[in-house]
Structure 1
Amino acid sequence: MGASQAEAWRELRAKSGAPANPFMEPEFTLAVGRVRAAARVAVLWEDGQPAGFFPYEQGPLGRGRAIGLGVSDCQGAVLRPGLHVDPRELLRACSLATWEFDNLEAGQQLFERDAEGFGSPVIDVGAGYAAYEELLRAQSPKFLRSTLAKERRLGRQVGDTRFVFDERDPAALRTLIAWKSAQYRRTGRRDRFAQRWISALVRRLHESRADGCSGVLSVLYAGRRPVAAHFGLRSRTVLSCWFPAYEPEFAKYSPGLVLHLRMAEAAAREGIGMLDLGRGDAEYKDALKTGELRVYEGATLRPGARAALYVLGREPVRRAQGFVRDRPQLAARARRTLIRAGRLRGGS
């Protein structure tokens, strides 16, 4: 994809009216393309001009996936407003029998009919950090008091706290990756950073300085020690939260929560209006959020034998996941089982 097509992509995206999520910018797709050989972009033409872009990954038997599926937090096509596209014809043109997604952006009518919707929490700091903190005082006064008190205690007992919104030191990124890998193992989940392409993608994006998709590593220090960190992607107006982690030694100070408050403060100062916390249940997201966006999970199918094979292989898993997700007690039991499995795996 050349520079002129990337610029056309940005112009179409700007006209869409959707939040400027960095996962939907051409820089993210280009970065994935450098670490994933299966990455593709279909270009839709109208009167000799690009009218749409459809990023995807092409697998065996015509199985397509959203670009960066597994780590991308916002997915979909970038189309000229009002452009009508038959989704099955689009799949046929891309030699795909299926296209799977798990964080489809709201408003993607091309694919929404094949999907199930979920809430994705966000923090709105468009009115400034002071207004956000005032909202927290009203809706979660105990949470805010406790977090700020722990921040002060961290400074007294460990060392003066210092926050860096955009840390460029590669050593800090290596520390975050090590923390996050340990967290995955500790909680019984698959270590994403054990996959080379994900590690390579994050390191590449950390070096990105594009307006629409720039990697941002935020670090909370106590004294000289990093105690919590987060790596995400930002555009001019949206910070997509991605990989947060902290040093377990300092867990009693809730450094991850302190980090997110300082991120919100710095983001507002930078002119960012929204922090997208990403889909997924977590207590800290419930405490911090001011609202939710809608995202969708599902797959668009083109009728045929290969699509039937996908349904036979994938749908039982999806139904089982939905069954657990819709039953809070069962979901909590599953989380406890994962944590026990992680402890056994780690030998503790």
Structure 2
Amino acid sequence: MKGKNLRYLNEQPSQGQRPLQAGFVLLEHFSLPAFTQALDTIVTANLLRPNLFCSRTFGLHEGEVVSDLGLVIRPDAHLDGSQLKDLDLLVVCGGYRTELKASDAFIHLLKAAAEQGVTLAGLWNGAWFLGRAGLLAGYRCAIHPEHRPALAEFCKATQVSSEPYVIDRDRLTAASPSGAFHMALDWIKGLHDKALVEGIEDILAFEESRYRRIKPTGNICLSAPLREVVKLMAANLEEPLELEQLAVYAGRSRRQLERLFKEQLGTTPQRYYLELRITEARRLLQHTELSQVDVLVACGFVSPSHFSKCYSAYFGYRPSKETRLVK
């Protein structure tokens, strides 16, 4: 492996370039797997090209923090305003049992970080804290499905996605450990070249995940009727079913089905179905040799113009601009 990955090293790294500083705020009962996935990606980048990044952990108070797995972590420092000036990225690490409660001091720190141009990220339910600070207005974000309704209550100007991770300008959010890995990888991809990203994937043995569709509902606790509808949607991307058909299959009325989606997934059936089709289209464009026309047909779009419009609205660029990752 070492010999294989030597090709990813820069033999003459840039002199005098300051390592980017990433800070991780560990909230009580934070998701240890999500945190380690993101951190491991950054650490692995340094193995390939030394001194690209520096990382520190912070607590909101002095002393230790207990992770979701019961492991006790002692952060490097207590987070206060003095550290913000050195940070390029600040990651709020939440978890399934992390209490959705933010102190005024924490809200002030997040706002100050945003004002200073620090890129902000949230893992698991970390997006809730960014939203509570008013820092997600006009952004797309990802959050664990259990916490989508709570975020939607006060973030009316935020588009909560069912994707496992979202990078929208200077906001990075992930809803799961797998999403945290891909979030960190895409962040690095935006800063460095493709060779470095491929080297990280090789070392962390995530090559197969690049070709496996990420199913955002895989580990979500859904009611039986909604779970059946979601399965039907995923199995009928090429010829999307009408909402009335889905309601009949689920034994519910259209209004009842819309209420289930809002309560359990924080979105509408139409929006969820479109996200499934759009994200699958992106996967096919990135990881297969199918033409754009073949992809749009496979994902149930009626015309190239409609497909391009939906794709641009969702990802911010046309499907013709999508990066092909097949070798």
**Higher fraction of strand:** 1
TM-score after normalising by structure 2: 0.31
TM-score, reference length from structure 1:
0.30
